[in-house]
Amino acid sequence: MLKVLSAAALGTGLALAPAMAERNGPDLLPPLQSPRIHFGTGATSGSRIAVYPEMPNIPGEDSDWTLVQWRKANPLKPSEFAAKSGQAPSFDWKAPDGNSELTISKRDNLYVFDLIGGNGASDATGESDIGLSADIVPHSVSAAHALVFSINARLSAAEVTYETPQAKESGAVLAQAGISFRTTFRDPKTHRAYSVQIGIPLVNSRNPRPEHVGCHFFGQNRAPQLNSEKVLAGTETLPFRRGAPVAHLTYHVNDYICDFISKPVPCRSSDGPQMTMTWPASAADLNNWSIASVVISLGTQNSASKQSYIGPQGNIKVGLEISDPRLTESSELSNGGRCPMHE
């Protein structure tokens, strides 16, 4: 499960939006064009990511991107890196246990970030994660206009071994990476704000097209927190193998919102029985949706909290190499500003 917080802090038969020229509007994300990023400590302060006060002591402008680290025994620290000089300088951070690594290098005038994760344990909130997150610039953006996310990506490592026959089937040994958008739906009738995490899987070591829907109520009088991860028909994912060519991936974010609200969502409640949440009609109006931040995350585990497979069940190490993530907004409304299945 991918975890999203603000960076400054932290099919269904749905037709995909028609192809459009990329980057036909302003870039809504800060450029990932400097190695001087913020480093999350692995903790939070309220709803915000706790970061180290210093940034890496290397050349470049201060970046608005943050390295996020969750459930890591040895979080990477901004001051503990090795530099390689030459025509193509690079910077490398490596955790003592070898389960977290970040390498930043420059190729073809683009900074390439190689996020490497290994092993770890999962709990109710997800796996051991490493990723990059950024807020929308200059603030959240409405989903009424067509929003296109694009990124260059491939796997730099894809190593997995299973110590028991059940380890692969159970998911105790697992790696998955994806893009998550922290979105908010505001119902104009009730004035309730729904926190919704929209996830787009990039790669999964067990299932090339994973699907997950979640919903949790924290008290009957509060709006639920919801999340969705799904690969829509006609979209591309990465093969789980090292050395594949760099893929330029493009996703129409509005389609993922419309897919999520096309059906009721089963919910768990902290103070009551399980229930089903049906979306109000106003959810089909994309003017009522906004996107605040994006996280690109790699999660790994070789054990889980489930009683049936406590303890390490194998080993896994995966590297996700990314560059030039962009979110652009079209001047045209997405499907007239509404989700088509609600017409």
pLDDT at 205: 94
Would residue 59 count as lying in a domain?
Answer: yes
Tokens standing for 82?
């090795």
For residue 115, tell me if it sits in a domain. Answer: yes
The CATH code of the domain that includes 56 is: 2.60.120
The predicted pLDDT at position 310 comes to: 64
Instruction: Say whether 285 sits in a helix, a strand or coil.
Output: strand
- Please indicate, yes or no, if residue 106 is contained in any of the structural domains: yes
Evaluate whether residue 68 is within a structural domain. yes
How many domains are contained in the chain? 1
Q: In terms of DSSP bridges, do strands 121-122 and 110-118 run parallel, antiparallel, or are they unpaired?
A: unpaired
Beta bridge partners of 296: 132, 179
In the predicted model, residues of the chain with pLDDT beneath 50 are 1-24, 307, 342-343
State both tokens at 170. Answer: 């159970």
Instruction: Decide if 292 is inside a domain.
Output: yes
pLDDT confidence of residue 272: 65
Place of tokens 């269904």: 12
Please report the pLDDT score of residue 270 as a whole number: 67
Q: Which helix (H) or strand (E) holds 93?
A: strand 90-94
What CA–CA distance (Å, rounded) separates 100 from 150? Answer: 25
The pLDDT of residue 100 is 96
CB 248 within 8 A of CB 152: yes
Residue 25 dihedral angles phi and psi, to the nearest 5°: -140, -175
The answer as to whether 21 is a domain residue is no
Q: Residue 15 has what pLDDT?
A: 29
Preceding amide of 138 cis, omega within 30: yes
Residues spanned by the domain of 125: 36-342
What are the tokens at 228?
Answer: 């969705």
